Amino acid sequence: MIFPSEINFLLKMKNKISLFITIFLLVSLVTSPVYAQTTEDYPEYIVQPGDTLSYIATLFDVSMDEIQIINNLADPNSIYPDLRLKIPGYPGIKGLLTPVILGYGEIWQNLVVKYHADENTLIKINKLISPKTLYPGSELLMPIDENLPILNPVAVLNESKTFLENTAILNAKPYILFNENRKNSSLDFYTNDLIYDNNPDLTSVNSISDVIASISVSPLPLLQGDTLTIEITTRIPLNLSGNVDGKELIFFSNDNTNYFAFAGIHAMAPIGIINLTVSGSSDSETLFTNSQNLLLVAGNFDSDPNLNVAPEMIDPSITGPELEKITAITSVFTPEKYWDGVFLSPDTDYALEIANYDEKKEITSFFGTRRTYNADPTITFHTGVDFGGGVGLPIVATAAGKVVFAGALDVRGNATIIDHGLGVYSAYYHQNEIFVKTGDMVQKGQQIGKVGNSGRVDRANEYAGAGAHLHWEIWVNGTQVDPLEWINSGHP
């Protein structure tokens, strides 16, 4: 039997114990240490071919030491492609941090939907001020949840198809599309809005026109000196036209389905934005016109030491007419494609005369390198690639084509220019001998001349053969572009 006095005692003890537990919990909350971000909380990055730890640290605005410490990397050179690295400096952010480039025809909201992204997180990690004014070519860090599928645009809302009609065609449930596209109802969709879904069996579409199956613009971001390539696949034969900052684009197709056009971007073009406009018509009826601004960024060009040449070699009365002549030759559009595949380096046959040439190969000046001559402070740029080597080394045609010039020029010396079709030309300067003549058809890899030091060559008068080299150029629709781009990757 329990007496009242015992009950009072027990109640008092219970209250004391409750008070003690409450105080203990409060103290624990106040004094518990704040732990650093655990390794499980770090977002990750997958190392790509060519990546260095220095590049990755710069990409994510952190130090190499921080990356090494949390990934237990003793040697910064020990990273390799497909290695997953934890990235510090992004508390509260999970997933796979992936550089994503805003593509042609895409807008900010498309990326948010496509990658299931949180807008505020994207703005924060990319330090964006006005995300809705991003241009195609803009690079963003995207935290991608690997457990969620990347969505694709599968329909476009227009006057001919309502949201519900598109839903029926796609055989999709409206509430799922609302959720995937961050919409509350069909009223939140507007004309030309893309509808995204994760069904891999559905064909991707674009918001430009129903008659376009796909359109791509590369490279993005665009650099000074690049060759801009526009590729369009259509559902019906079209007459395509366009321009880049007012300069005409000429499209070519072998099958009336797959079209492409090139534009050369000047090595000293003002950085910022350039405009790309594309139009399509059929039977004299314009079916679409699309105009977008692209991001143009600076090329990573070095500067050469000041070059000393004969004064007459930088006299505008000599250099001007010669450049006008070359520009006129390389601005002609031949509606036939002579080449196939990746271009060949014109120094390929040096290996026939120089043992272990691949190990000794020397490019003495790259395209785009900033230059000055004599006492003239005017900054120009190197219009091609210079391959070192002695007089008499063999020069080969970089691709099949037709010789449109073979002869002597004051500045460029003994020169050969080959038309490869579709507005693409290659040029070979300062030769000692020329093996071809105007009108000849040449094949890829065919020897067309020998290296020399004719024309404007730095210190060429110091001794016989001084400064001998091959200067090689690629022209695209009347503009010099980076030639190495044509031997490092293929074009349509």
Count the neighbouring beta carbons within 10 Å of the beta carbon of residue 244.
22
Return the pLDDT at 38.
52
Domain ranges of the chain: 39-144, 152-197, 212-297, 311-488
Which tokens hold the place of 110? Answer: 């498309």
DSSP string across 82-142: T-EEE--S-TT--SEEEEEEPPTT--HHHHHHHTT--HHHHHHHTT-S-GGG--TT-EEEE
Per DSSP, the chain holds a count of helices (H) and strands (E) of 10, 27
- Domain 212-297: top CATH class: mainly beta
Nearest in space to 327 (alpha carbons), one of 417, 229, 222, 431: 417
Neighbours of 365 (CB within 10 A): 19
Q: Is 333 left (phi over 0), alpha (psi -120 to 50) or beta?
A: beta
Distance of CA 320 to the CA centre of its chain: 33
Instruction: Assign a CATH topology to domain 39-144.
Output: Membrane-bound Lytic Murein Transglycosylase D; Chain A (3.10.350)
Spatial distance between the Cα atoms of 196 and 404, rounded to a whole number of angstroms = 50
Distance between CA atoms of residues 179 and 186, nearest Å: 11
212-297 and 311-488 agree in CATH topology: no
Q: Which two tokens stand for residue 309?
A: 């040449």
Return the bridge partners of 471, or none. 386, 429
CA quadruple 427, 429, 432, 438: dihedral, nearest 10? 40
Which amino acid, residue 462? E
Q: What is the C-alpha to C-alpha distance for residues 429 and 365, in angstroms, rounded to an integer?
A: 14
338 in the Ramachandran plot: left (φ > 0), alpha (ψ -120 to 50) or beta?
alpha
Entry pTM: 0.84
What is the per-residue pLDDT for 21? 42
Fold annotation for 311-488: Glucose Permease (Domain IIA) (2.70.70)
CA dist 163 and 193 (Å) reads 10
What pLDDT was estimated at residue 182? 94
Question: Which is nearest to 451 in space by CA: 408, 403, 397, 389?
Answer: 389
Cis? peptide before 346, omega within 30° of 0: no
* Nearest-5° Cα angle at 228, 222 to 231: 120
Q: For residue 379, give both structure tokens.
A: 């900054």
Of the candidates 50, 80, 55, the one whose C-alpha atom is nearest the C-alpha of residue 488 is 50
- List average pLDDT for each run of 10 residues in the chain, which is 492 residues long: 41 43 40 44 93 94 95 94 95 91 90 93 90 89 94 88 90 94 92 91 88 93 97 96 96 96 97 96 94 94 87 87 96 96 96 86 92 89 93 96 97 97 98 98 98 84 78 97 94 88
Distance in angstroms (rounded) separating the CA atoms of residues 434 and 456: 17
CB 318 within 8 A of CB 410: yes
pLDDT for 28: 41
Confidence at residue 382, expressed as pLDDT on a 0 to 100 scale: 95
pLDDT at residue 406, as a whole number: 98
Q: Give residue for tokens 């601005």.
A: 331
Per-residue confidence (pLDDT) for residue 41, from 0 to 100:
82
